[in-house]
Amino acid sequence: MTQDTRVPCQLYLISPLDVGGAFPARLEEALSAAPVAAFQFRVKGLDQHEAARLAEPLQAICAAHDTAFIVNDDVALAKRLGADGVHLGQSDGDPKEARRILGADAQIGVTCHASRHLAMEAGEAGADYVAFGAFFPTTTKAVEHHADPEILSWWQSMFELPCVAIGGITVDNAAELVAAGADFLAVSGGVWAYPDGPAAAVKRFEKLLAG
């Protein structure tokens, strides 16, 4: 697959762990600034009822902006919400089982760290995208796996399946990942903790990805 035939790289936002309070307004601000391909709802340690309560206004905002709403880790919650898809870590279940539960149209992504083998396995299991990382230091989660941008180039040269770059990505370090072949940039702190606010960050990413 050559660089020339690919759709331009797109932004994929990942929620902070705290999505209550003023967060829905911040999500609205971010999605109103420029097109965002997907938003991943990532919360930890909540029961499903509480997670669903927090997810519903965010899901509505995403729907209004034509942004895919992806649930992190939890196939049952994704099913309950009628989410657009689920993102699975290596210990979060099998893509084939997720497909059976969520249906043919669900977007199923799989974390593959820095492993070509895991990525090929995910593709064979029917994943819709594979995620590589972390590429940079991140405060969002403990980093056990460090990926080199070269893995994105290798993946693009071998497979049609989209790849997502994740881990510590900001507007200042993202260009090399776009150049290496990322189809999506998964960003959390690089937008939500941006000094000028999430809308300003999304606009800067839009300019970078268009350039």
* Cβ–Cβ under 8 Å, residues 128 and 88: no
The β-bridge partners of 195 are: none
Secondary structure, 3-state, the chain: CCHHHCCCCEEEEECCCCCCCCHHHHHHHHHHHCCCCEEEECCCCCCHHHHHHHHHHHHHHHHHCCCEEEEECCHHHHHHHCCCEEEECCCCCCHHHHHHHHCCCCEEEEEEECCHHHHHHHHHCCCCEEEEECCCCCCCCCCCCCCCCHHHHHHHHHCCCCEEEECCCCCCCCHHHHHHCCCEEEECHHHHCCCCCHHHHHHHHHHHHHC
Domain 3-210 fold is TIM Barrel (3.20.20)
> For every one of its 211 residues, what pLDDT tens digit does the chain have, with 9 covering 90 and above?
344 567 899 999 999 999 999 999 999 999 999 999 999 999 999 999 999 999 999 999 999 999 999 999 999 999 999 999 999 999 988 999 999 999 999 999 999 999 999 999 999 999 999 999 999 988 766 777 899 999 999 999 999 999 999 999 999 999 999 999 999 999 999 999 999 999 999 999 999 999 8
Distance CA 195, CA 23 (A): 16
Tell me the domain boundaries of the chain: 3-210
Residue 190 contacts by C-beta under 8 Å, 6 or more apart in sequence?
Answer: 168, 169, 170, 171, 174, 201
